[in-house]
Amino acid sequence: MIRVTIWYEYVQESGQMTPEFEAQVPEGQLEGFRQWIPESTKKIRRQYPDGLMETLAKYLRKDPEFEVTSVNLFMPECGLTEELLEKTDVLIWWAHIAHRMVPDEIAYRVVRRVQAGMGFIPLHSAHQSKPFVYLLGTSGTLKWREGDFCRIWTAAPAHPITEGIPESVDLIEEEMYGEPFDIPKPDETVFISWYSGGEVFRSGCTWTRGYGKIFYFQPGHETSPSYHNPHVLKIISNAIRWAQPAKIRENFDCPNIVVSPESLRKPRA
Ligand code: ZN
């Protein structure tokens, strides 16, 4: 049994503009967010009547090897208690507009757990989430443009994550993510995507940090149908099997990481 936890930011889908959310919006952008979020909520619900991450969870729950728990930002401790992380073999992370709402204490809790052996699968816009950036040490910045045709090429056909995946997979509509993608050199570039605008992107990359395995995977823009695509879903379940811990460092801690008051600074404009 592989214990999978799906962490979901859930701001756009739920439409919850809490005071904490508003406080972290960069200066001058609040009015724009107030208009954009309700529209975005409608579009996500149209594309994913069961919910964006619930659609993924439903698929994964059909696999008798997976035990799936769903948590989100609005739960106490962002849903990521020490107890839950200790019982998580692989953590999936989807986030977009509220990365700063995850306190550093929680982000470093995830980092330490990955270093201890937990698998980590950041999806799509999680490329700038705190755990992603803190684990990899680069900014995670990239180019982007909404709404483009995407062809995902399998670049490492012998890799376990590509098991049962064809040479290429077409997505009728996905957000374009383009190079340069500011990441450390991947252990393996498993997928490379091409967009009709001509851009290419390292869309499936692996790393290890400590005992933990990491797989970043690009598809999953909230208003695109990618999590209805059987190949995309299969890639994620392959990645869960690949990322499950070979060994966990019990009672692993890194007491020299002290969370600084810097993390509480006001968001930059
Ligand atoms: Zn997106």
User: Cα of 223 to ligand 1 centre, how many Å?
Assistant: 8
Does some domain include residue 192?
no
Bigger pLDDT: 268 vs 146: 146
- pLDDT at residue 259, rounded to an integer: 64
What pTM value is reported for the model? 0.95
* 220 CA distance to ligand 1 middle (Å): 7
Give the range of the structural domain holding residue 221, as residue numbers without chain letter: 2-137+203-247
Q: What is the Å distance from ligand 1's center to 243 Cα?
A: 24
* Residue 24 lies inside a defined structural domain of this protein: yes
Q: What digits encode the pLDDT tens for the residues 166-190?
A: 999 999 999 999 999 999 999 999 9
Q: Which one has a higher pLDDT value, 255 or 189?
A: 189
Task: Please report whether residue 105 resides in a domain.
Answer: yes
67 Cα: distance to centroid of ligand 1 (angstroms): 27
Cα–ligand 1 centroid distance for 38 (angstroms)? 16
Residue 118 is assigned to a structural domain of this protein: yes
User: Cα of 124 to ligand 1 centre, how many Å?
Assistant: 6
CA of 76 to the centre of ligand 1 (A): 26
Distance 151 CA to ligand 1 centre (A): 16
The pLDDT value given to residue 256? 67
Q: How many separate domains does the chain show?
A: 1
Q: Is the dihedral of CA 147, 151, 156, 159 positive or negative?
A: positive
**Residue 265 covered by a domain:** no
What is the tens place of the pLDDT at every residue in 202-244? Answer: 999 999 999 999 999 999 999 999 999 999 999 999 999 999 9
Average pLDDT, the chain: 94
Judged against a pLDDT cut of 80, whether residue 263 lies above it is answered with: no
Between the CA of 174 and the centroid of ligand 1 the distance, in Å, is: 8
In this prediction, residue 268 carries a pLDDT of 47
Check which CATH number belongs to the domain holding 65 and give it.
3.40.50.880
Instruction: Tell whether 188 is covered by a domain.
Output: no
* Centroid of ligand 1 to alpha carbon of 176 (angstroms): 8
Mapping DSSP onto H, E and C, the string for the chain reads CEEEEEEECCHHHHCCCCHHHHHHCCCCCHHHHHHHHHHHHHHHHHHCCCCHHHHHHHHHHCCCCEEEEEEECCCHHHHCCHHHHHCCCEEEEECCCCHHHCCHHHHHHHHHHHHHCCEEEEEHHHHHCHHHHHHHCCCCCCEEEEEEEEEEEECCCCCHHHCCCCCEEEEEEEEEEECCCCCCCCCEEEEEEEECCCCEEEEEEEEEECCEEEEEECCCCCCCCHHHCHHHHHHHHHHHHHHCCCCCCCCCCCCCCCCCHHHHCCCCC
| 17-45 confidence digits (pLDDT tens) | 999 999 999 889 999 999 999 999 999 99
Cα(58) to ligand 1 centroid in Å equals 21
Q: How confident is the model at residue 264 (pLDDT cuts 50, 70, 90)?
A: very low
Residue 152 lies in a domain: no
Residue 260 to residue 246: CA distance in whole angstroms:
32
Q: What distance in angstroms lies between residue 197's CA and the mean position of ligand 1's atoms?
A: 17
Would you say residue 256 lies in a domain? Answer: no
